[in-house]
Amino acid sequence: AKGGNPTARSLILVTPDGERTMNTFLGVSPELDHGEVDRDLVAASRIVYLEGYLFDRPEAKAAFRQAARIAGEAGRQVALTLSDSFCVDRHRDEFLELIRGSVDILFANETEITSLYQTTDFDSAAAHAARDAKLAVLTRSGQGSLVLSGKERVEVAPERVPEIVDTTGAGDLYAAGFLFGIARGLPLATAGRLGSIAAAEIISHIGARPEARLKDLAIGAGIDL
């Protein structure tokens, strides 16, 4: 196709400790607007996943809110990932409005959630998240993850890997595993473990696409799917 803005791309630099630095050009992606939200598709989805990276433009914000509204009216769940602490800094008040009013499942890592509540203390941020979100899923790298739902608190241990090669995609794969578990009606602890298994696979090699069959890894870990 000719004309218009180019496809998004990202140059990712991975250091020997497995950490990554992303140099991202979003291209046409942020130009999503409410007219491109497929009402029937959203209403038929068990869970609608909103990506904080795309929240910058007013048109994209309108699309977010429309998708959340359609999902809510259809009795579907809405998940939001904060994506990056810089996104949080730019949109803190609007993210909080979404979390308190439209979001069923919140995903954030430790840096993002402490940025959201403007504190350096994770436990304090987690307490705020437990009050604001119906279900908060907070990842902490090597310390595993914390799942909060009302008064329920589930600590999920990290899955061990021989070597951390590349952390690119760890949060995305964790969310994928967790949401799979929620969509299947599994307990929060099991959903969290599925997230950890998926994240562990992705950090064991270069690249953000699994090289093993995640279902087989889950079954091998004793999870009944």
pLDDT, tens digit, 9 for 90 and up, residues 176-190 = 999 999 999 999 999
Say if residues 212 and 177 touch (Cβ distance below 8 Å).
Answer: no
Structural domain boundaries in the chain: 30-220
Q: 105 pLDDT exceeds 80?
A: yes
Name the catalytic one among 132, 172, 216, 224.
172
pLDDT, tens digit, 9 for 90 and up, residues 147-158 = 999 999 999 999
From the candidate CATH numbers 1.10.150.20, 3.40.50.300, 3.30.70.2860, 3.40.1190.20, the one assigned to the domain spanning 30-220: 3.40.1190.20
What one-character-per-residue DSSP string does 64-82 give?
A: HHHHHHHHHHTT-EEEEE-
Instruction: Examine the residue annotation and report whether 172 is marked as an active-site residue of this protein.
Output: yes
